[in-house]
Amino acid sequence: MKTIIVGGGIGGMITALYEKQAGHDVEIYEAKPKLGGRLAFHNRGPYKIDEGPTVVLLPQMINDILKDLNLENRIEMLRIDPLYPLHFPGGETLLKWSDRKKQAAEIERIFPGESDSFHKYMKDMEQRFEAGKPAFLDRAFLQKSSFFTKSNISILMKLKAYQSVRKQAKKYFKSIKLQEAFSLQTLYIGGSPLQTSAIYSLVPFSEHAHGIWYVKGGYGKLAEVIAEALEERNIKVNTHAFVTEVKTEKDKATGIVSRNKYIPADRIILNGEFPFMKDLMPGQQKKTFQPSSGCLLMFFGLSDKINTKHVHNFFMGESLDTHMENLFKKNKLDEDPAFYVFNPSLIDDTLAPQGHGVAYVLVPVPAAEHITREDYLIYSEKIKKLLIQRTDHNLQDKIVWEHIRTPHEAKADYLFEGGSFGIAPSLLQSGVFRPQIKPFSYKNVYAVGASVHPGGGIPIVMQGAKILSELLRKEDEQVTIN
C-alpha cells in the first residue's frame, strides 16, 4: 500500500514511522527545506537555540511512542526541578516545584494558609487526569455520537469543562498571583486562561505530576532523531515540495499534485495547519477557524549567559487578565505584558561556543492579521528594555547577535494566521469539535497535527499520530478479512 503524507511536522514524521513499521510504502511531501515543523532550531554560526517549543511535558508519553518505534535511548532528557520562577512586578517571586512538599512549603511561605488548597488542587486534578486521559487523549471521535456518551458527559462534568481554566483556579486559590500561577499554562497551547476550557487544567497539573524536562541538545534534537530514523528506514522524503491539490474520485482520494506532477496513492495523510490542509480537498464548505495566539520571539547569541538562575523564567505584568483581554479580545499589544525567558545554556554547553550562551524571549501577542510587522518590531524594543531591566543590566554588552521573529514570519512559514499553536484550544475547537483524524467523507484521507484532535503540544501531537496509526491498523485488518 502506498501512503503519502502531506507535511513533515512531528505528527507526519511519527505517522510515517508507524506506517513503515506496518509494512507500507511511505513518502513524505514537505513544503519547507527541512522536516520538523515547529520543532526546529534557529542557527547562527556556532550558536543554536530552539525556535519553537521549549517546555517538555508528558515525557512518558514521548518515551512510550519512541519505544513503539524502536527509538528508545536516542535522546537524553533532563528533569528540571524547580520548574521555574514567576517574578511579579513588586519584586515577589514564586518558585514552582514539581516536588509537592517543596511546592506546598513555597506557597505557604508567600501565601500563608494556601498550601492546603494546593494539596486539594493536586488531589482533584489527579483524579480528573486519570479519568480524562483515557476518555479524551487516548482516542478519536470519528462520530459525534461516540463523544456524547453518558460516560463522557459524566467525565466532562467532573472536569468542569464548562468553566475556564482561570475560573477553576479561582475555586482553589484566593490569591490572584496563585490563580495566575496555575492557569497561565494555557498559553503553552495558544489559549487564554480566561477563555480556555477547564479540561486544559490538566496542563498545569501535569507540570507537578510528571515534571518539566529538557532534551539535551534542545527540543529540536527530537526532530533530528526522527528524521534520521526516516532515512535509516528508507522512507522517501521530498522537501521544497508544496502540495497544491488532493485528487479524488467518488468517495476516495487517488493521489496528490505537487510541483505540477500527479502522484498516485492508496492513502493520504494530511499533516499541516488544518485550515490549509482542508483547502486541498475538493468540495469542502468554507469554515471559519479561530487561530491561537501569536508569539513575538527574540533570539540572542551572547558572549556570556543571560543572568537568570533558572532555565525557564516567567516575568509577570501587573495584570495577566488585562494582557489576555488585550491579546484575545481587543487584538492589541499590551503595555505591561507577561513574558517568558528561556536560558538553556545554564544546563547545556552544546548550544554556543565555550563560555558563551543563547537565550530566547517569548511574548504572547495577537496573530498576524491584527498588527503590522513594523509595530511588532517597535514593540520588541520595548520588551528588550523590560528584559534588561528585569533580568540582566549588562545584557546589551553581551549580545553577539539578535533575531526577531514576529507572527508575520510565522504566517509566511505556513502557521495559520501567524498563530504559533494551530487553531485555538477554545471549547468549540476542542474534543469532538476539533478536526478529527478522519475529518472528511473520503475513505482514505486522514489528518494529524496540532490543529487536529487530541490537540497541540509535541507529546499530544505524537499521541495523535499513535491514535491515527491504531485506526489505520484496524482498517488494514478489515481489508485483510474482506
Both 199 and 221 in a single domain? no
The pLDDT of residue 5: 98
Return the higher-pLDDT residue of 446 and 150: 446
- HSE-up of residue 357 (Cα within 13 Å, Cβ side): 17
What's the pLDDT at 13? 98
Q: Is 207 a catalytic residue?
A: yes
Residues 201 and 184 in one domain: yes
Is 327 inside a domain boundary?
yes
Q: What is the pLDDT of residue 258?
A: 97
pLDDT digits (tens, 9 = 90+) for 167-181: 999 999 999 999 999
Residue 33 is given by DSSP the state S
pLDDT value at position 158?
87
Instruction: Show the cell assigned to 460.
Output: 499530544
Q: State whether 244 and 306 are in the same domain.
A: no
Both 297 and 416 in one domain: the answer is: yes
State how far the Cα of 210 lies from the Cα of 207, in Å rounded to an integer: 6
pLDDT, tens digit, 9 for 90 and up, residues 57-115: 999 999 999 999 999 999 999 999 999 999 999 899 999 999 999 999 999 999 999 99
266 belongs to a structural domain: yes
Q: For cell 526541578, name the residue.
A: 81
> How far is 414 from 280, CA to CA, in rounded Å?
14
Q: Which residues contact 275 (CB under 8 A, 6 or more apart)?
A: 287, 289, 416, 423, 451
Is residue 6 over pLDDT 70? yes
Count CB atoms within 10 A of the CB of residue 63: 16
Tell me how far apart the alpha carbons of residues 163 and 423 are, in angstroms, rounded to a whole number: 20
Residues 207, 224, 273, 417: which is the catalytic one? 207
Interstrand relation of 261-264 and 252-258 (parallel, antiparallel or unpaired): antiparallel
> What pLDDT shows up at residue 148?
86
Q: Confidence class of residue 286 from pLDDT cuts 50, 70 and 90? A: confident
**Number of DSSP helices (H) and strands (E) in the chain, helices first:** 15, 19
47, 298, 301, 361 from 402: Cα distances, Å:
11, 7, 6, 11
Is the peptide bond prior to 439 cis by the omega test (within 30 degrees of 0)?
Answer: no
Q: Measuring CA to CA, which residue among 26, 69, 356 is closest to residue 222?
A: 69
Q: What is the rounded distance in angstroms from the CA atom of residue 421 to the CA atom of residue 313?
A: 20
> Quick one: 415 and 340 in the same domain?
yes
Looking at residue 482, its pLDDT comes to 61
- Dihedral pair phi/psi, residue 167, rounded to 5°: -65, -35
Question: Among candidates 238, 243, 276, which has minimal Cα distance to 411?
Answer: 276
**Residue 250 domain boundaries:** 2-77+217-287+423-481
What is the mean predicted confidence (pLDDT) over 212-221? 97
Residues 222 and 204 in one domain: no
SS3 percent helix, strand, coil of the chain, rounded to 5, is 40, 20, 40
Report how far residue 352's alpha carbon sits from residue 44's, in angstroms, rounded to the nearest whole number. 10
Q: Are residues 107 and 152 in the same domain?
A: yes
- pLDDT interval class at 221 (50, 70, 90): very high
Residue 330: count other Cβ atoms within 10 Å of its Cβ: 12
- CATH of residue 320's domain is 3.30.519
Instruction: Tell me the C-alpha distance between 78 and 218, whole Å.
Output: 11
- Main-chain dihedrals φ then ψ at residue 87, nearest 5 degrees: -95, 120
Q: Residue 382 and residue 316: Cα distance in Å, rounded?
A: 15
Last residue of a domain, one of 389, 420, 451: 420
Sheet containing 261-264: order of strands: 243-249, 252-258, 261-264
pLDDT at 480 over 80: no
Which cell goes with 51?
525556535
Among 112-116, 144-148, 304-308, 381-385, the least confident range: 144-148
Structural domain contains residue 87: no
> Residue 288: how many CB atoms within 10 A of its CB?
5
Residues 396 and 429 reside in one and the same domain: no
Domain membership flag for residue 472:
yes
Closest CA to 37 of 393, 465, 383: 465
Q: Taking the model in full, what pTM does it have?
A: 0.95
Same structural domain, 457 and 400 = no
| Predicted confidence (pLDDT) per residue in 394-450, tens digit | 999 999 999 999 999 999 999 999 999 999 999 889 999 999 999 999 999 999 999
pLDDT over threshold 80, residue 479? no
Q: Give yes or no: residues 306 and 275 share one domain.
A: no
Please state the separation of Cα 183 from the chain's center in Å. 16
Q: What is the pLDDT of residue 144?
A: 84
* Domain end marker among 176, 209, 242: 209
Q: Residue 117 carries which DSSP code?
A: H
Residue 146 has pLDDT above 80, yes or no: yes
Asked if 269 contacts 24 with a C-beta cutoff of 8 angstroms, the reply is no
Higher-pLDDT residue of 146, 225:
225
Half-sphere exposure of 313 (CA within 13 A, CB side): 22
Number of domains forming the structure of the chain: 3
pLDDT tens for 172-205 read: 999 999 999 999 999 999 999 999 999 999 899 9
| Phi, psi at 405, each rounded to 5° | -125, 120
- Could you give the angle at the alpha carbon of 235 between the alpha carbons of 240 and 272, nearest 5°? 50
Instruction: Give me the pLDDT at residue 316, please.
Output: 98
For the chain, how long is the longest CA-to-CA vector?
Answer: 71
Q: Are residues 201 and 306 in the same domain?
A: no
Residue 180: what are its φ and ψ, rounded to 5°? -65, -40
Q: How many residues does the chain have?
A: 482
Q: Which long-range contacts (CB under 8 A, 24 or more apart) does 322-325 make?
A: 323/364, 324/192, 324/193, 324/194, 324/195, 325/194
- The answer on 277 and 181 residing in a single domain is no
**Residue 370's pLDDT is what?**
86
Cell numbers for 321: 487578565
pLDDT value of position 172: 97
Q: And the C-alpha cell for 56? A: 517538555
Cα(195)–Cα(188) distance, integer angstroms:
14
Condensed to tens digits (0 to 9), the pLDDT of residues 113-145 reads 999 999 999 999 999 999 989 988 888 898 888
Whole-angstrom Cα distance, residue 12 to residue 23?
Answer: 17
Phi first, then psi, for residue 73 (nearest 5°) are 70, 10
